[in-house]
Amino acid sequence: MTEPTFSSYAFGGRAGELNRAGASASLIAELGDNYATYHAEIEADWKRLGGLPDPKAFRGLDGLVEYSHAYARMQHLAYAEIFLRRAYGHRRLGRRIADAPSFGPDLVDESGALTSAEVV
C-alpha cells in the first residue's frame, strides 16, 4: 500500500518542498512533527479568507457562484487541516495515517474559527 499524498494545498517551507517532490513519507513526518507551525499557516489563511462564508451574504445567480467559490476555498483549507491532523496523529499518537483524526476538538468551533488538535 502506498502512502497518501497531498497536493491541493501549497504548504510553505520544508513541507511544500517535500510535497512538490512527491516525498510522501517525508512529508507526513515533516507535518506530523511540526503540527503547530503548519496549523498556524492554515489558520492564517482561514482568517485571511474570513472563515466559513455566510450564504445570506450572496444574492442571485452570481452570488450562488461566488458563494460556491468561497466555500470551496474554505473546504480546501479544511482538507489541508485534516491531512495535517492525520500526519500529527500518525507521528505523535501512533495512529495509522489512513485513520480519521478522531482526537482533539472539532475542526471548526462555534464561532467559525479553525481549531488546533495539538495535544499538549
Give the domain extent around 35.
Answer: 13-93
* Among the listed residues 118, 107, 105, the one whose alpha carbon sits nearest the alpha carbon of residue 52: 107
* Helix/strand/coil percent split, the chain, to 5: 60, 0, 40
Displacement of CA 61 from its chain's centroid (Å): 29
pLDDT of 52 reads: 86
- The phi, psi pair for 68, rounded to 5°, reads -60, -40
28 assigned to some structural domain: yes
> Does 120 fall in a domain?
no
**Cβ atoms of 12 and 94 closer than 8 Å:** no
Whether 116 maps to a domain, the answer reads no
Low-confidence ranges of the chain (pLDDT < 50): 1-4, 120
**CA geometry: angle 78, 22, 80, nearest 5 deg:** 5
- Whether 115 maps to a domain, the answer reads no
In a domain? residue 108: no
H-only helix segments in the chain: 13-21, 24-33, 35-48, 60-93
- pLDDT score, position 97: 83
pLDDT of residue 12: 94
Q: The pTM is what?
A: 0.84
Structure confidence at residue 1 (pLDDT):
34
Total number of domains in the chain? 1
